Amino acid sequence: MTSDNNDPEDWRNVIGNKTYKNELAKRFKDNDDPLKIAIVVDMWLTGFDVPSLATMYVYKPMSGYNLM
């Protein structure tokens, strides 16, 4: 999740910072890590190839996706 300056202070622990997001990207590349599913609404610029990655595209408008 991305943040902006208007977010409440207590959201920062949930959203994380750049280091946290880089760690998630590193974990997502590791086939032995329990992190197996990432739900991405717009795009996640990973900057790397993930051999085990499979992609499912949803071609109809989604509503309530921010509740996942």
Higher pLDDT among residues 18 and 65, named by residue: 18
Higher pLDDT among residues 67 and 22, named by residue: 22
pLDDT recorded at residue 50: 73
Distance, CA of 56 to CA of 16 (rounded, Å): 26
Distance, CA of 46 to CA of 24 (rounded, Å): 10
Distance, CA of 6 to CA of 65 (rounded, Å): 21
What average pLDDT does the segment 40-67 reach? Answer: 69
pTM of the model: 0.60
